[in-house]
Chains A and B, each alone.
Chain A
Amino acid sequence: MIAAPNLETQRLILRGWREDDFEPFAAMMAEPAVARFLTADQRPADRAASWRAMAVFAGHWALLGCGMFVVEEKASRAFVGRVGPWRPEGWPGFEIGWGLHPQFWGKGYATEAARAAGDWAFAHLPELTEVISLIHVDNRASQRVAEKLGETPGERTLHAGMPHVIWRISRARWAALKTNRPS
């Protein structure tokens, strides 16, 4: 199997999926504030649906050699959420996506993890010319993350029956912003 690498940022660890990620992942997907923008019906996911969602994340790595990382907080080793590449069949582009437990919102963790995941994706996938982020029009918090990553809003699209905007950033712009990042 193609194992996810471990990535380290200042405050976070990004790593592959394990069976014991299920409880905190299911707890996250049962949060109404998370489900509002991350489940197909906008309702909290039950345990069976969360297991399948987690299996798809692990299977994305196994099939495609890239995928969402589990994000852990270094200090506490707590499960923070999942961030990283997402490119299932029929997706409008190569996405860098993020979804964190509300307990960890407002700390800059999504941006910190998405930067590491994007750096990894551009370094390991030479054919990648840009990444996108598919964001619900009402999801202000995620739009802020996209702005901090240097993504710009593009076309509107209907996704899971809901209005989304495709945010984009080119490889060149990502690289330019990376060199100017505060360390």
Chain B
Amino acid sequence: MSFGPTLETSRLILRPPIQDDFAAFAAFGADEEVTRHLGGAASPHASWRAMATVAGSWALMGFGMFSVIEKASGDWIGRLGPWFPGGPEGGWPGTEVGWGLVRAAQGKGYAVEGARAAIDWAFDHLGWSEVIHCIAKANTPSIAVARRLGSYVMHEDVMLPAPIGVAIDVYGQARDDWRARVSSPAP
């Protein structure tokens, strides 16, 4: 049984995490390269807690990151979506749509494709007035994704609360700008 929506893009399925995602989620969490800007490599126990935190966000707040499934292969290729742990008092710098994909799925435009669907959903269903993305300065590929989404640097050198505990720049944009752009697509 699912406890959140399933979204579909041309190449991806986005849905809340399920226990069967765990092996892929743990492999992702253990990859030092992909987690270099996400708080570092995690043990299987820490990865399970991270996945349960996402599932719990859905259960408690009605939103959370989606598991990203590649339609062609059926593989779990990452997690992406709305993230605001603890709500307004949780110490998170804002209403985020974030992304993190396994190495094999990077460089294909999947993050942009999935984030667009997640941002549309967040603005349509969560009442958010802006969306942010927390990105480490050295994370060039994610900065490129943020820019392709039309986001810009809102705040620099913001410390994320524990257990992440890393400094990031806050990219983002207002809902009105997002919607204006969607209704007049770039050439």
Contact = CB atoms under 8 A, between A and B. Distances in A.
Interface of A: 1-2, 17-19, 22, 46-49, 51-52, 54-64, 88-91
Interface size class of B (residues with CB under 8 A): 35 or more
B52 A55 contact: yes
B3 interface: yes
B49 A51 contact: no
A48 B161 CA distance: 7
Contact of A49 (B48, B52, B54, B162): B162
Contacts of B16: 62
A7 B55 CA distance: 23
Interface in B1-37: 1-3, 16-19, 22, 26
A88 B55 contact: no
Given A47-B91, A58-B55, A62-B3, 10 more contacts: A52-B49, A52-B53, A52-B85, A58-B59, A59-B52, A60-B52, A61-B59, A89-B22, A90-B44, A90-B45
B47 interface: yes
Given A56-B49, A88-B49, A62 B59 contact: yes
B56 A59 contact: yes
13 contacts: A1-B3, A1-B59, A17-B59, A18-B60, A48-B86, A48-B162, A52-B49, A54-B60, A55-B59, A59-B54, A59-B55, A63-B51, A90-B43
Contacts of B1: 1-2
A47 B47 contact: no
Contacts of A62: 3, 16, 52, 55-56, 58-59
Interface in B55-105: 55-61, 85-87, 89-92
A6 to B, nearest CB: 16
Interface of B: 1-3, 16-19, 22, 26, 43-45, 47-49, 51-61, 85-87, 89-92, 161-163
A51 B86 contact: yes
Contact of B18 (A48, A58, A63): A63
Contacts of B161: 46, 48
B48 to A, nearest CB: 3
B60 A17 contact: yes
Contacts of A19: 60-61, 87
Given A48-B85, A51-B90, A90 B56 contact: no
User: 6 nearest interchain CB pairs?
Assistant: A1-B3, A55-B56, A59-B52, A59-B56, A89-B48, A59-B55
Contacts of A61: 59
A135 to B, nearest CB: 19
B44 A47 contact: no
